[in-house]
Structures are given as C-alpha cells and as structure tokens.
C-alpha cells in the first residue's frame, strides 16, 4: 500500500501548531496536520453551568464546526439546516470530555472554558487535530489565569493528544487522511495522556468486525503517534509546558 | 463492593426478550434487563437514502428515545426542546452502525430498515439493551422479507449483542445499572458478534485515565456477557436463529 | 353492520387497566382498549406556571405522543419534524382540560401534575383511552401526596372517563376502532364524570352534517360506555377509589 | 346579569360583513362582530395535498392569526416563538373542517382553497367570526371559479355560520365577548348549516361540569344566532347566495 | 413613460392616514398610499432590553409582516417557514433605527415602544409607508405617556417620513408602485426629518451601477416627497403636532 | 482626533489579499484589513434557484459568518440560537447583491456561485472587507470556468470593492475600525466599481441626522479608498485582472 507524499504506514503527516493565532481569545492555536487545518480558541467565562453552581469546580466545553469550503464538496452551514448534525455533536462531546480528563476542576474554580474548534480545511483527522490543538489553546488560557492570579496553580494535570489509526486494505496505518479514511475497514480514534494512559478509545468496524489482536496493534501504533504529538505541544508551549502537572492535584 | 440484589461483579442482570411485542411492526421485541425496559421495532421501507439509489444495496437506521417517566426525574421530550440532544444522536448512530455491520446489504436490496428503540424504563445500559433487542426485531423483520420472497436469503451474517463494562471504585464490573454508571471511573460499551469479533469499542475515562491492562480485562469481561446475551437471542428467535449466517455473503 | 370480533354496536372493546406500570413515576397505568394500548404516567412537580404563582392553586397539564410503530404505517417522530402536529396539540389540551375539571386545585396547592400519555399501539380511541387511563395515574399520584402529608385531603372531586361514539353507515356505535373511525360520518368524543355530568362534548361531522336527534342518541350511548369505564377504574383503584369526592370542595 | 351596551342575553352583537375587502385575493371579507374584526381571504391554488392527487377532489384549508395589537396586551408573533400555539392550531383545524363540510369536493376538482383569517381586533368570538366571514370569502372565490368556467357548478351545498354560547353566572347567553368568555363556566362553539344541521359542537366545562338539559338549551340558543348570521351572509352575497345548494351534489 | 392613473413622474400616490385605528393599542394608524395599506401600532412596555438597564434611557423596536393575501401571489406566513426572511429582518431594523433617530431616549425613560407594521395590501413602498405611518402611531403613544404624567415632555425631536425614488427606464420617478419597483434599475429609500436632514439613504443598483449625479437628483426628489408626507402627518396629528420638537433635547 | 497606529483620517488600514488560500474551493482569498481578517471562498454549483430555471442565466449568492472568537467577547454561534441574526442576513444580502452587479449572468450560464465569507477576526469593516475579498475569490473561480471551457468569456464586467466612511466626533474618516465604528455619529458603507460608479450607498445616522453636504464629502472619500483597494485587487489577480470587462456584455 502506497500513501500520499511517500509517507510510511506508521508515520504522521507533517504537523505544526501556531500559538496565539487570534488576537482576542484568551488562548488560541492554528494546528496543521498535512492538509487539515483547525483553529482552536479558548474563551474564559466567569460562570459555570447550573449543575456546578456552588461546588467550587469549573467546566470545559467544546464546539466544533466545518467552514463550508473546508471540504471537497461545499458543506451546508449547520445554521441553514437549523441544527447540529449527529456527527458534529458527537465530536463536540468527545473534545470536551477528553480535555476535561486532564484538568483539575477544583483548581480552575467556578469558571467555564469554551473550546472552539473551527476547521478551515478538512483532509481527515479533524477531530483528533482539534483535541491536540485545543490542548495548546487551553494551556495558554490557563497559564493566563494563573498569571493573573485568579487561579492558584496550573490546573493541567498532564499533556493530552489524539490520533487516528485504522485498517485499510488489511494494512495497519497511522493518522488517516480523508482518502484513506473513506476506505478504512476499521477506524479508531485514541486519546492519550503524556504518561501513556488512555482517555478515550473509539474503535468502529466500518464493514467487517475486527479481532482483539488487531485492536492491540492499533493501540500500540496510536501510542507512538501521540508521543510525537505531545513532543510538538511541549516545544510550542515553551515555559508553559514545564508547569503542566505541577498543580496540587486532589 | 456490593451490588443490588446480591448480583456478582461479573454477572448480568436478569434478561428477558419478548418477541412480536407490537401488532403492526414488521419486527419487534421488548427487552428487559433488570429494571431497564426497551421496546425495539423494525419497520421495512421500500426505498433507500439518496446516496444508495441504484446501488442495489439496502440501509439500516435507528432512532432512540426515552419516555418522559422512564427516568427518576421526568425527562423533557425532545420535541419540546425542539431538537435531539447530543446524547440521543450519539446513541442512534451507534445502534444503526452496529446493526449494519452484520447485515449483507446486497441481499437486503434497496430497502431501509428503521429500528425504533423506545425506552420505557431506564436503569442504566439502555443503549446496549437497545442494540441487543434491535437484533431480535431486525431478525424477525428480515425473516419476514425472506418468507415473502422479496429477499433471496437471510441477510444476517452473524449474531450481535452489546453490553457495558466499567471500573467502579477500582472494581471491574459487568452490566452497570444507573447507580453504578454514575459512579464509574471508566465506562465502556462493547458490541460483539456471535463469532467473538469486535464491532464497536467505546471506552471513556470519566474522571481518571485507564491503563492498557484495564482495557484488556474489560474486553474479556464484556465478551463473557455478550456470549450470554446471544444465547438468549438464539432461544427467543427459534427457527429464525438457524438461518443467521446462511446467506451468500459477498 | 358487523364489527370485529363479533362486538355489539353498543359494546365497548375489552378494557384492562394495569396500575403502577412504571417504577419511577408518582402514578402510572397501562390502559388497554382492544388493540389500543397507552401508558399514562403522572409526575408531581413542586411548582406552578407563572400565572398561578402565589394563588395557592395547582395545575394539571398533559402531553401525548405516538410511538413510531404504534400505527400501521410508521409515524415520523415529532422531534424529527421539529414541532408538534395540530392533532397532538389538540389532544394534549383536551386531556389536560378534562382532568382539571375534577381536581380541587386549592387542595392540590401550588404543584403541577404532568400527565404523559404515550401510545404503544393505536387502534382508534387513543385520546379517550388516554383520559380514562390518566385518571387512574392521577389518582395514584394524588393519593401518594395525601399519604405523604403534603396535601390535606384527596383533591379528586369525582371520577372521570371518556369514550367515542359515532355514526358509521348511519348506524350509531360505541367505542370506534381505527377502521370504524376512518369510515365514520360523525365522530364524537365525550368526557363525563362519575355523576353523569358533561365535561367535554366534541362532535364533528366528517362528511355530512348531523341532526339534533342524532346528537341526543350519541350522548345517551356515550353515557352508558363511560359508566362501564368508571366501574373498571373503581375496581383498579381499590382503596383509593373510596376517597374520590371526599375532599372539602370549595 | 347586565351586558355591555345594554345587549339582551339572547342577542348577537352588531354584525357587518364587507365583501371584496382585499384587492388581490380571489375572495375576501372583513367581518365585524362588536369590537371583534377579522379579515378573511380565500386563495385558489391549482393543486391539492399529496393524499388527494388523482382523486379528482379538492381541498379547503385554513390559517388563523392574531395581529399583535388585536389584543389588550400585545400578543407575541408566532414566528417569534418559532411555532404555532396549540390554540392557533386548534382554531385553524376547526375552520378548515367546518368549511369543508359544505363544499362538494368533486365539483371543486383538484384545487385547494386557502382561507386566511387574520384578526385585527379580538374581543371574543374570533374563531366563530372567522368561520362566518370565511364562508363569504369562500363563496366569492368559488363564484369566480364557476364564472371563469373552471368549475362546472357552484360547489357550495349549503350556508354555514358559527356562534358561541355559554353559561356565565348560571345565565345562558349568546355570542360572548372577551370579558364574558373569561368568566364563563361553560363555553360552547357551534357550527351549523343553513338547513339547521350540526357540523361542529364543542362544549367545554371551564370549572364545573354541565348537565344534558343545559346542553340542549345552549344548542337551541346557538341555532337562533346562526339563523341571523346566515341572513346577513345572504344579503351580503347577493346573486351568489342564490346559487348556494344548486350544484349537483354527489 | 406613463404611470398608472395618469400620475406625474414626480408625484406621490394619494396618501391618507387614519389615526386611532385600533381600540387597544396605545397608538395606531392605518396608512394608505395608493393601493398599499399598512396598520401601524405602538405598544408601550415598561421595561427595556438588558443593555439599557439602569441607563435611564428608553428603546424603540419594530416588527413588520405581510398578511398572506396582501400580495398578488399568496405569501407563505413566516411562522410556517419557521423564521423571518432576510427581507423582513432588514425592514424591521430599518424601521426601528429610523424612528429611534428622532426620539429623545432620556425623556422617554426606561420604556420600550414596540412598533408593529402589518401590511394589509402591498403595492410597493410598504417599508416607507410603514415608517411614515409608524411616526403617527408613535406620536400618539408618546402624547399619551406625557398626558399620563409618566414622561415629563414630548420626546419627539422632529418629524420623520420616508419615501422611495428610483430610475425606471432611465426616468427618475417618485414613490414607486410594485410594477415600477420590479422594473427599476436603481431603487432608493430615503428617510428624512422635518428639518430636511438625512436619517437613512439606501440606494441599490438593481442591474447597472449609477452615477453621483443620478444620486443627487434622486435625493432632491425624495426631499420633495417627504415634505408632502410630513404635511399630512401634521394635519392628522392636530394638537400633538405642535408638541414635536418642544422637549428639552439633551 | 487621533487614530490607532498614527493613521491619517483619510487613510486605509494596511490591506493584504492572499489568493488561493483554500485547497478545495474553486476560488478563495484571505483578506486582511488591519486586524480584520476574512476568508472568502467561491463555490461553483451547476444549477440555479427555481426562478432562474430555463432562463440561461446564472446567480451569485453569499453567506457570512463570524467565528466565535473573531470578536472581543465570544459570539454565540448562529446554529446555537437556531437562526441567523438580522445583522447577518442584511450583510449576506448586501454581499450577494453587490457582486451580482458586476457579473454578466448570461455569460455565466445556469450556474450558481456561492460566496462564503467567514470572519476570523473582526475589528470593524468586516462586510466591506468581505465584498472586496469576495471579488478576488469570484474572479479566480470565473477564470477557472473560462479556462475549463464551460463559460465562453470572462463574465466580470468591472472591478468592485467596498469601504466604510463615517463621521466620528464630527470628523470625516475613512475605513473605521471597531472602536471608531462604535462612536460614529454617521456610518456609511459604499460599494463602487472600477469605473467609479455606485452600486450600493447605505448611510445611517446613529444618533443624529446628517446633511446633504456631509453625504457628498463622505462619498468623495469613499471613492478614494475604493480606488486604492481595486489597485490591490488588480495586482493580486495578475493575468486574470486583464480579462475583467472583456466579455461581450449584453
């Protein structure tokens, strides 16, 4: 099996993360993974949803959207259909849940961080790129809160990144582009922490079921990819990186 | 850790499936798993979504809904909020995708089967009960199509059932009820076939990440539960059961 | 004119009411009228709509919905069309208004009772079955409030049930099933109390107008049917039945 | 009991109907009943809803709306809430059903007549005024169709008008204004034909149930009011009036 | 170029304004401009939108709607499509903004005036008629507030009216009717005050761009038309007219 | 009056246009005007709206949206409120109408060009930037259609750009940023062609009316700004620029 641009089966596409991409957001990043490009921004809001009032704990929530011409065929805006598609809602919930797993909500205090992931260009792997990029925007916003004195210590407990793996023509490959994704027999999204633990495993047979052995091999490969992504996050975050995991975790 | 009704950690709740529960549907089942009760119906429609026109292939789609007092607190109807919640959409997509994985769409031909899963009572595990029960309603509807001569052979390639597993207070348990689910550190839904292959694996850390070893143990336990559920499906389906897997799979 | 199952023109279909059908609701009943089956549940909410605040009076409201395969052809969910049909709204308003007529709202106090009527199977007469069944669910919920001490005396002033009558092929018949209903020239729904008074009379000429004499005959027949239905309610409610009408009506 | 402007208990408010009130509509009327004013227009559309295609039969449908300041307190526009209230839907269905009962749909042929009833001022009785006024707009539109040769004979089989009656402070009164309506113990809307037959009877106990004797007295009084309204319709319609009931009814 | 009814190129259609057209509104007017007829009503609400709370200032907002048969072809109600069209929103914003420009919001105090413009008949120029008529309804409502003592002096700083001008077949014409409007190469709506100053200028090339000279000529002609309209407003408002501009403008 | 970054009163902010910013769109541009950044894309669709079927003519339509953190305070997504704001609809209609004025629709043929304008950062002037940038995306897409042979000659009849002018503290200024815009007494958006003709003039008094002389001065200044913007468009478009205005205009 040959991949675009001579990429190896176990290789990521070229990844860059540009920090502070937006002027007004408390944190922001433009993540590029091959031809996939996602703007991630973090907004701090000084209140929490009703179920967290008076608990002293904060909240992280995410929204995700495709620009109409991020895709080969123009995608109709969701406001035009009047509601979010199931796919969008599933991705939003995944992003929010994933990021929440590495935040100490007591340190954050009664605040909500909104993560907005807007896809400029979609060539596969937008949801995993959104998670990896949102981590950087979130770290930037949280560092700002700590610097401003509103939060006593960095609430990030660990790094977090995500990648896809899959079986295409019975070959195991890392970081599927759109073309590969549409031919995949199995598609799996994995979210892991800097210490190598699992946060989300979502494996789906598109066509034919898969074995326990294939699952194991896919998780191994995902682990390698996530390690590389976290290395990039660390470099991009500079000083902020060293503060991740230093808060007094409850 | 003690479970309700003296249940063992690796034990399912009492499960019953009542076939042909509804008079008008082409297939139907009322599945009871402990206090969880779901009506599953299968409707045959003699057309397919636009993307399948003139392909000769069929489609399976699912809808899921909670009756207002299926839950401890009354749940507002989705028509009242004007749209489906993200949770509902995610479950609907999971049910549809899971059932599609065991159907030979070419044998089905250009037809859509609608699976409606309406939860009468919700005590945890409604989505996995919906998958397990929908399999029976679907088998009934497909057997009817074969009997009527519209479909040349049984399009079901294998059995299919689903169960949840999780980590509660660091104990690994099978088939979580609502109370257990709300305290779970890790919650995983697994969909498997009669031949023990994986169709969906959705593991989520609610709180703290989990290790690869814990993942393996959870999948082992889910496999045991699914085997028991498929045994019940076989018994309930009687004659129809023997025809599963006999179609000429492409 | 011959009716299904050899039923007489002035005869009800077989009726059963199963109390406490749902585990979580404050009151619930499954009513079966021939092939029509409706789950009725009563939920107590400790607040009232804005127009009743600080009046000391309570409120009763109803919601009604068809399960997709309650009907011969699958009925699209109302959330899918994005709004309630006119038919559903009309039925909901009728159920709520009818039940309110036999409740002493001052005794109930500032509480709302939600009556949810979900039709599992629809073979005609779902709105009248919903009223008759909701009365039982409501009585169960109100008895619970009295037992818990929150309400000083049983707020139910009288029994209440409903039935349809109609003219089919110029024959006067009681309790129309779906087939009969779709051929009726006149269709009338009548709601009456245990003391034989009228709460709602809704007669509609579907096709050709009707005379005053026909109206009188239809009301006589409806009265007979409602008497039988109330006898069943009394039996099902047991002890609770004896408390109906004993509150200090204002 | 004293009524506004010295009106007798069995007396209608002053009624006028202005024909051809709108320039563009195929039929139109402004009906004034005391301070209640409703514009009724009839629009001919050369197609029918799907369920009537290729049946050779036509359809009548109605829409009803309150202008924001038709009411004492400003009424929010329904587009602002995003959907029709239950009350509006109930009224629309009533108007459409009532008018359909006097139209020979085979003579009309595969056409739809839209009746739009827009309330300029609402002082009670808007739904009955809308029915009485719509009859005139409909007659005008149908006469136009006959004149244009598209319809072979006048499809109106009989006259049709509507009025409210009610019990206020135990007094039986005709044609309730808003003030009376809000104090009524029983409120009944009656739709009758020129030959004195019933098309709709909708009686509702607002507060306490009513007896069979009260029902009879209310229907007698409604009959008198409707006779007067039809006399006005005949005068306003002039030549067109003489053609009502002359079509070859099937 | 010949205009309907022998009208001159620089001539308005016949204009009448009927004050106090509605019984319940605090201010109202029926404006007729040729065959265009619009009901304008003003409603006083004793609160302001959130952004004005505790500023001591008031607000003016407008809503606009076409009755279904105000137009040659029946216009679908906006509630039926579920939302306002872009055209409606643009007109509503224009009406509100225009009227706000002549009101002293500090004199008005923390109140909102709702201007409802409902078009009974639409033969071109409905938005400008709505502005001209709303001024009268607003003046009536404000005079009422001053009379009642809630507002210390008349908050209207100047008169205000609006008219359309355009280029049709390269001829410059005033006050376009529907037929002219649909053939116009340039269409311009102008809102001016009694002292001849500009409040809104909205010129749009429908087809081919226009020159600066043409713009100048159009504004001159609009000025003439607006002067005539304001003369009519003054006559209709009688005593109230003399109080416009007498408040202590800040 | 001092402007940010020492800008002169009659000076534009720094403007850049990056062509072919998106991989999949038929035409695209990222326009930067100071801190305002807008992605404009052009999509070719091989069909037209119903009212243009079988006319041989094409159509241009536009959509506009703010990314949530394009603004100082996070802007709620329009899909979340369920509908477009009035502001968005007004801008979309302006963009579409403006671009249509310079396209020969007969040359374009029965195709629709969708212009999507997504604002990454909003510091005032987003609608005029969207028009200026969309012209480049549109030119790119049309050049592609000509090159592919589907369109016989370049359908662009002239260049087109837009700019804002306004009165702030009685000073006339060009190209208002957000801060200036929110203090402007008059705000005017002007759309002009390469030959200096007017396409849209939208002047609005925010607070106090303006004179005819002020209008003239604003239009002069807008003309200067638009000339500079068109010079940039020409440079960016290179070869394509020379083909604008060469089609056989009808």
- In sequence order, what DSSP letters do the residues of C4-68 get, joined into one string? GGG--TT-PPPEEEEES-SSSSSEEEEEEETTEEEEEEEEEES---GGGTTTT--EEEEEEEE-G
CATH number at residue B110: 3.30.230.70
- Which of C29, C40, C79, C116 to probe the B interface (max B CBs under 10 A)? C79
E116/D39 CB distance under 8 A: no
DSSP annotation string for D76-139: PPHHHHTS--HHHHHHHHHHHHHHHTTB-HHHH-S-EEEEEEEEEE-SS-HHHHHHHHHHHHHH
- Which of E205, E206, E222 to probe the F interface (max F CBs under 10 A)? E205
B43, B65, B84 member nearest C69 (Cβ): B43
| Cβ-based contacts of F198 with chain E (< 8 Å) | 203, 205, 209-212, 215
Question: What average pLDDT does the segment D30-50 reach?
Answer: 97
In a domain, F38, yes or no: yes
Query: Is A127 labelled as part of a ligand binding site?
Result: yes
- Residue F118: name the closest of F40, F223, F175, F2 by CA: F40
C198/D201 CB distance under 8 A: no
CA distance D108 to chain C (A): 15
Interface of C with D in 197-226 (CB under 8 A): 197-205, 207-212, 215, 219
Is the predicted pLDDT of residue C176 greater than 50, yes or no? yes
The predicted pLDDT at position C93 comes to 95
In a domain, A101, yes or no: yes
User: Which is it for the CA torsion C144, C147, C152, C153, positive or negative?
Assistant: positive
Rounded to whole angstroms, what are the CA distances from B179 to B132, B166, B170, D214, E18?
21, 12, 15, 56, 68
DSSP code for D25 = S
CA distance A206 to chain B (A): 7
Chains B and E touch (3+ CB pairs under 8 A): no
- Which of F101, F196, F203, F204 to probe the E interface (max E CBs under 10 A)? F204
Chains A and B touch (3+ CB pairs under 8 A): yes
- Which of F86, F95, F186 to probe the E interface (max E CBs under 10 A)? F86
Facing residues of E200 across strands? E191, F204
Residues E113 and E141 sit within 8 Å (Cβ to Cβ)? yes
In a domain, E72, yes or no: yes
Chains F and A touch (3+ CB pairs under 8 A): yes
Question: Please, which pLDDT band fits residue E249 given cuts at 50, 70 and 90?
Answer: very low
Radius of gyration of chain A (CA): 18
The C-alpha angle with vertex F90 and arms to F89 and F95, in degrees rounded to 5, equals 100
CA distance E21 to chain F (A): 29
The predicted pLDDT at position B29 comes to 98
| Cβ-based contacts of E211 with chain F (< 8 Å) | 197-198
**DSSP H helices in chain E:** 78-81, 86-100, 105-108, 126-147, 178-181, 212-237, 239-243
Is the predicted pLDDT of residue F249 greater than 70, yes or no? no
Q: How far apart are CA D193 and CA C131, in angstroms?
A: 31
Residues A79 and F77 sit within 8 Å (Cβ to Cβ)? yes
E89, E199, E210 member nearest F198 (Cβ): E210
Query: Is E93 labelled as part of a ligand binding site?
Result: no
- How far is Cα of residue E87 from the mean position of the Cα atoms in its chain? 15
| Cβ-based contacts of E43 with chain D (< 8 Å) | 68-69, 74
Helix (H, G, I), strand (E, B) or coil at D167: strand
| Cβ-based contacts of A210 with chain B (< 8 Å) | 197-198
In a domain, E221, yes or no: yes
- Which of C105, C158, C198, C222 to probe the D interface (max D CBs under 10 A)? C198
- Residue E136: name the closest of E23, E15, E28 by CA: E28
In a domain, E155, yes or no: yes
- Residue B185: name the closest of A190, A198, A249, A107 by CA: A198
Domain hosting A202: range is: 15-243
Question: Please, which pLDDT band fits residue B83 given cuts at 50, 70 and 90?
Answer: confident
Chains D and E touch (3+ CB pairs under 8 A): yes
Question: Please, which pLDDT band fits residue D248 given cuts at 50, 70 and 90?
Answer: low
In a domain, A2, yes or no: no
The predicted pLDDT at position E248 comes to 59
Token representation of residue D119: 């309330």
pLDDT, tens only, B153-183: 999 999 999 999 999 988 999 999 999 999 9
In B, minimum Cα distance to C81 occurs at B79
Is the predicted pLDDT of residue D1 greater than 90, yes or no? no
Q: Number of structural domains, chain D?
A: 1
| Cβ-based contacts of F204 with chain E (< 8 Å) | 97, 199-200
Q: What is the mean pLDDT of chain D?
A: 95
Contact C92/D at CB under 8 A: yes
Question: What average pLDDT does the segment D30-41 reach?
Answer: 98
Contact C67/B at CB under 8 A: yes
pLDDT, tens only, F180-204: 999 999 999 999 999 999 999 999 9
Question: Please, which pLDDT band fits residue D249 given cuts at 50, 70 and 90?
Answer: very low
In a domain, C129, yes or no: yes
pLDDT, tens only, E9-43: 999 999 999 999 999 999 999 999 999 999 999 99
B22, B82, B118 member nearest C82 (Cβ): B82
Chains A and D touch (3+ CB pairs under 8 A): no
Question: Please, which pLDDT band fits residue E182 given cuts at 50, 70 and 90?
Answer: very high
CB pairs under 8 A between E and F: 89
The C-alpha angle with vertex D189 and arms to D187 and D194, in degrees rounded to 5, equals 150
The predicted pLDDT at position C248 comes to 59
Q: What is the mean pLDDT of chain C?
A: 95
> What percentage of residues in chain B have a pLDDT greater than 70?
99
The predicted pLDDT at position B249 comes to 47
Task: Kindly report which listed range (A98-102, E168-172, F118-122) carries the lowest average pLDDT score.
Answer: E168-172
| Cβ-based contacts of F79 with chain A (< 8 Å) | 65, 77-79, 82-84
E69/D24 CB distance under 8 A: yes
In a domain, B2, yes or no: no
Q: What is the mean pLDDT of chain B?
A: 95
D219/C219 CB distance under 8 A: no
The predicted pLDDT at position A35 comes to 97
F28/A69 CB distance under 8 A: yes
What does the pLDDT profile of chain A (250 residues) look like in tens digits?
Answer: 789 999 999 999 999 999 999 999 999 999 999 999 999 999 999 999 999 999 999 999 999 999 999 999 999 999 998 889 999 999 999 999 999 999 999 999 999 999 999 999 999 999 999 999 999 999 999 999 999 998 999 999 999 999 999 999 889 999 999 999 999 999 999 999 999 999 999 999 987 899 999 999 999 999 999 999 999 999 999 999 999 998 754 4
pLDDT, tens only, F29-69: 999 999 999 999 999 999 999 999 999 999 999 999 999 99
Question: What average pLDDT does the segment D49-69 reach?
Answer: 97
Of residues F206 and B62, more confidence is placed in B62
Residues D122 and D71 sit within 8 Å (Cβ to Cβ)? yes
pTM to 2 decimal places = 0.91
CA distance D6 to chain C (A): 31
The predicted pLDDT at position E250 comes to 42
CA distance A62 to chain F (A): 12
| Cβ-based contacts of A90 with chain B (< 8 Å) | 86, 89-90, 93
Question: Please, which pLDDT band fits residue D178 given cuts at 50, 70 and 90?
Answer: very high
Neighbouring chains to F with at least 3 Cβ pairs closer than 8 Å: A, E
| Cβ-based contacts of A22 with chain F (< 8 Å) | 69-70, 120-121
Interface of B with C in 105-134 (CB under 8 A): 114, 116, 118, 120-121, 123
pLDDT, tens only, C194-208: 999 999 999 999 878
Residues A131 and A193 sit within 8 Å (Cβ to Cβ)? no
| Cβ-based contacts of F123 with chain A (< 8 Å) | 23
Q: What is the mean pLDDT of chain E?
A: 95
| Cβ-based contacts of C39 with chain B (< 8 Å) | 67, 120
CA distance E138 to chain D (A): 14
Radius of gyration of chain D (CA): 18
Question: What average pLDDT does the segment E189-202 reach?
Answer: 96
């Amino acid at each position: 099996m040959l991949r675009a641009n001579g990429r190896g089966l176990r290789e990521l596409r070229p990844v860059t993360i540009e920090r502070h991409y937006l002027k007004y957001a408390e944190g922001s990043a433009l993540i590029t993974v091959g031809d996939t490009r996602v703007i991630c921004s973090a907004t701090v809001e000084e209140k929490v949803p009703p179920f967290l009032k008076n608990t002293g704990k904060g909240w992280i929530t995410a929204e995700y959207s495709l620009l109409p011409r991020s895709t080969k065929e123009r995608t109709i805006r969701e406001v035009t259909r009047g509601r979010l598609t199931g796919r969008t809602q599933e991705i939003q919930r995944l992003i929010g849940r994933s990021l929440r797993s590495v935040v100490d909500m007591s340190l954050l205090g009664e605040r909500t961080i909104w993560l907005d992931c807007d896809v400029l260009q979609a060539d596969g792997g937008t949801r995993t790129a959104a998670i990896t990029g949102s981590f950087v925007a979130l770290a930037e916003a949280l560092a700002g809160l700590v610097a401003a004195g509103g939060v006593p210590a960095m609430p990030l407990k660990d790094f977090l990144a995500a990648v896809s793996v899959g079986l295409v023509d019975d070959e195991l490959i890392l970081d599927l582009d759109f073309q590969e994704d549409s031919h995949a027999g199995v598609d799996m999204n994995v979210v892991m922490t800097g210490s190598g633990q699992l946060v989300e495993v979502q494996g789906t047979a598109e066509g034919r079921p898969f074995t326990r052995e294939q699952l194991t091999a896919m998780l191994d490969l995902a682990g390698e990819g996530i390690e590389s992504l976290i290395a990039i996050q660390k470099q991009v975050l500079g000083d902020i990186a060293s503060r991740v995991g230093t808060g007094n975790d409850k």
